Amino acid sequence: MKKKFSTSWVSSKQPRKQRKYRHNAPLHIKSKFLNAHLSKELRERYKRRSIRVIKGDTVKVIRGQFKKTTGKVDRVNTKTTKLYIDKIEVTKREGSKVLVPIEPSNVMITELNLNDKKRLEKLKGAQKNG
| pLDDT given for residue 102 in this prediction | 97
Residue ranges of domains in the chain: 35-129
Taking all residues of the chain, what is their mean pLDDT, rounded to a whole number? 91
Q: How confident is the model at residue 38 (pLDDT cuts 50, 70, 90)?
A: very high
- H or E segment and range at residue 91: strand 82-91
Classified as helix, coil or strand, 117 is helix
| pLDDT given for residue 128 in this prediction | 77
CATH node for 35-129 = 2.30.30.30
| pLDDT given for residue 130 in this prediction | 63
| pLDDT given for residue 96 in this prediction | 97
Residues contacting 33, CB < 8 A, separation 6+: 22, 25, 81, 104
- Asked if pLDDT for residue 67 goes beyond 70, the answer is yes
pTM value is: 0.86
| pLDDT given for residue 124 in this prediction | 84
